[in-house]
Structure 1
Amino acid sequence: MDDANLRPVAAVPMTEVLASSYIGWPAVIAGALVGTAIFVTLTAFGSAIGLAITSPYLGQGLSAKATVIAITIWTLWVVVSSYIASGYIAGRMRHMTPDVSIHESEIRDGAHGLIAWALTTLLVGMIVSTALSGIVREAQSKTPEQTDHSLYMADALLRGERLETPYNEGLRREVAAILQSGVYNGAVTASDRDYLVRLVTDRGLTPVDAQKRVDYAITDVRDTANAKRKVGILAAFLSAAASAIGAAAAWWAATIGGQHRKDYAGVSIFTRWR
């Protein structure tokens, strides 16, 4: 064929080839998997440290305040570190898109970091929910005496001065229900309180001592429930705050990873031993 009859074929611009897929899913998935693995590893490591520095015995190990502070700092560190790794890999491994401005490229890198953050959050949520479901099943398999504080306080109320003063299970659960009603309704009604005082008086205590024991039980059950509520609020707030900080960290790390990709920045100090 004569070369004169050959016609040049117009090249398809690279931007048109890549326009149908702005999101590099392989990079996003890789970043999410690495971030999740780091989260699981650091969480297990932190659990081991926590068991080592705390003690089930009163007065030993870290105080409750120090334990809360340590858990908060470690949780933030684990979450932010995981999201930084996730975002950096998503930004670094994303395919370069030619013919776009530096600002647009940075936005796309950051968007990949956010997508990796979202996927990491879903994976971590699945792992945590699975672990929590196992804990709940374990708690449900235990007897009520091991899980319900109001039942313990009911036993404390009905404990007589003499060992030969038994009480039945129905009465025990009735007392526990009255104590719980003080938590749900804000206070134990006067009639219920008087009833509890009569029950305790029948166990061999004086009316004054019976009133003191009843007041202590009501206050203790209410304070325990309030403490659990505060722990739940703190845990929910900490999770939300850590996730929000993690989103910003993932965006930032992805832009850094994208800049390193464009500059062909090496990490030979970490990957070469010769």
Structure 2
Amino acid sequence: MQRTEPIPAYAQSPDILVGPAHSAVSWGAVIAGAVIAAALTATLIIGGTGLGFLAVSPWHSEGASGTAFAVGTLVWLFVTQLIAYGIAGYVAGRLRTKWTDARGDEIYFRDTAHGFLVWALSAVVSLVLLGTTAASVVSGASQAGASLAGSGAGAISAVAGQAAGGGERSAMDYLTDTMLRPADPAQAVGQGDVRPEVNRILARSVAQGKLSPEDQSYLVKLISACAGIPEVEAQRRLSQVTAQAVESAQDLKKNAKEAADAARKAAAAFSLWAFASLLFGAFIASFAATIGGRARDL
């Protein structure tokens, strides 16, 4: 006689429903919702870009201020998430397969999961294939900040390059001037324009932070010969000009660092707000899917 195994107690309970063999995920509805979300997001971003161009103006005291433009961008970002993922989540909830073997709380969970899958799939597709506006802006801001930081670190060298022509050529010109420098600086006056040589000497002094004694002695005599003034007055002029050059280089370095820091803070703030908007979009898609699911089951 064949022995039969007893039926487990959990299988005998009428409150426990055994799920179907197939998956409870309606991938067709999820994919349709993700496509709708991506299309609406792209459309709204393009529209927001047009509104942004209308709001700004190259003319002074016209158009929106920088603060207003930034706030408007963030508001539009949240509006985009609300509209795109609200519609996409609702459509996915309406299109999903009707579950006849699940209880109310299980249906609510599945609808929420479908909305979240719509958001996740749309976000992944946008990041991989299209690139999101948030990623583009953050990347551009980061590159700008890095560029400004590099400018700040090399601000003194930049001033030197502007004065002397810049680069290795300037250094070689300075060495050439040193080799061909006459014993009597007055002879250099009669050989032509001495301003390029003076520029190279001053540029090197600004880059190194000080003027060498040899260059200082030479410039004092050269200024005295060119301007026809005593060496004491020439020394005073040289000290004054050198101090102004160093101060200008320090101001440029400070301004570049401040600009880099402002760009860093702006990029960080936008990244955090973009992160919040993405979470908002996930919530909207999940909630809208439950509304669409309830309408589907009516």
TM-score normalised by length of structure 2: 0.62
Equivalent residue pairs, number: 218
Q: 1:208 to 1:59 in 2, by over 3 A?
A: farther
Structure 2: runs of 5+ lacking an equivalent: 1-16, 172-204, 220-237
Say which of 126, 131, 146 aligns to 1:128. Answer: 131
Tell me how far apart the structure 2 counterparts of residues 129 and 154 of structure 1 sit (CA, whole Å): 38
Q: Give 1:255's aligned residue.
A: 290
1:103 match: 105
- How far apart in 2 are the matches of 1:16 and 1:120? 32
Is residue 197–residue 214 contact of structure 1 (8 Å, CA) maintained in 2? no
Q: Is the 8 A contact 2:206 2:245 kept in 1?
A: no
Post-superposition offset of 1:209 = 1.9
Matches within 5 A, 1:182-193: none
Q: Could you list the per-position Cα deviations for residues 129-156 of structure 1 after superposition, in whole angstroms to 9, with x for gaps in the alignment?
A: 69949x98xx9xxxxx9xx755995687
Residues of 2 paired with 1:166 and 1:28: CA distance?
63
Question: Aligned with 1:61: secondary structure?
Answer: coil
CA distance in 2, matches of 1:88, 1:154: 59
Which amino acid letter does the alignment assign opposite residue 29 of structure 2?
A
Aligned partner of 1:7 in structure 2 is: none
**Distance (whole Å) between structure 2 residues aligned to residue 172 and residue 46 of structure 1:** 48
- Match of 1:206, SS? helix
Q: 1:171 to 1:113 in 2, by over 3 A?
A: farther
* Structure 2 equivalent of residue 8 of structure 1: none
How much has 1:53 moved relative to structure 2?
Answer: 1.0
The question of 1:246 aligning with 2:281 is answered: yes
Whole-Å separation in 2 of the counterparts to 1:47 and 1:194: 43
Provide the residue aligned with 2:251 in structure 1: 216
User: Aligned residue for 2:208?
Assistant: 195
Q: Which amino acid is the alignment partner of residue 72 of structure 1? A: L
1:86·1:120 contact (CA, 8 Å) conserved in 2? no
SS across alignment from 2:131: helix
Q: Contact (CA 8 Å) 1:197, 1:210: kept in 2 or not?
A: no
- 2:14 is matched with none
CA deviations over 1:93-152 (Å, ceiling 9, x no partner):
11111132222111111110011110011122121169949x98xx9xxxxx9xx75599
**What RMSD in Å do the two structures reach over aligned CA positions?**
3.8
Percent sequence identity over aligned pairs: 26
The structure that has the greater radius of gyration is: 2
